[in-house]
Structure 1
């Protein structure tokens, strides 16, 4: 624990961008976004086709993510599989409000509900 925070949460690190890093690189899409509380990596949620946020946590062993959706501030612990109350992270705290969910605009298939987990 540093400054009263559990290991794996760094409130000073900004998010990696407005969308899932891997989906943006590959032209993919997501249902919701999650942000790594340790390094700021933004990935797609487990309902999304590629589940990049969980894959990031598994490969890096970073233990916490936070919702990256407007109006949501909950954390998830991959170690305990429980919701967690954490500190405010560096801005921005969500993707842009005008970015649709699912998103991003123009890449979500019309039958997107057939592709979610």
Structure 2
């Protein structure tokens, strides 16, 4: 068994290129019903959003980190729901707040 500097088994890495460990948060994310396609917090505050994200744990829709409110990240901090994706139907990426990377 080969371990890296932090004691993680190198053979346990799940990424094809071996650079990042597999994010298990994706495996526990159900397919929730999503909320309305708007950031409710931005509407209340009168802010505009650049892109909307949907929480893959509960379906909550909120603005991304590029928006003034960063309400999707705030939702993660309040709930510990780790993975979001874009509300855009053509998008396939997912972001894990725990690992701070796409998964």
TM-score in terms of structure 2 length: 0.69
Residue 36 (structure 1) aligned with residue 55 (structure 2):
yes
Q: Of the candidates 70, 73, 76, which is equivalent to residue 95 of structure 2?
A: 76
| Separation in 1, partners of 2:87, 2:43 | 15
Question: What's 1:105 paired with?
Answer: none
Q: Which has the higher contact order (CA 8 A, sep 6+)?
A: 1
Gaps of 5+ in 1: 85-117
| Separation in 2, partners of 1:22, 1:10 | 24
Q: Of the candidates 25, 30, 41, which is equivalent to residue 10 of structure 1?
A: 30
Q: Answer with 1 or 2: which has the greater Rg.
A: 2
**For this pair of structures, how many residues does the alignment match?**
78
Measured after TM superposition, the shift of residue 46 of structure 1 is 0.4
1:39-67 alpha-carbon deviations (Å, 9 max, x no partner): 00101010100100001011100010011
Is residue 66–residue 76 contact of structure 1 (8 Å, CA) maintained in 2? yes
Question: What's 1:48 paired with?
Answer: 67
| Separation in 2, partners of 1:40, 1:26 | 21
Is residue 21–residue 41 contact of structure 1 (8 Å, CA) maintained in 2? no
Aligned CA-pair RMSD: 1.4
* Displacement over 3 Å in runs of 4+: none
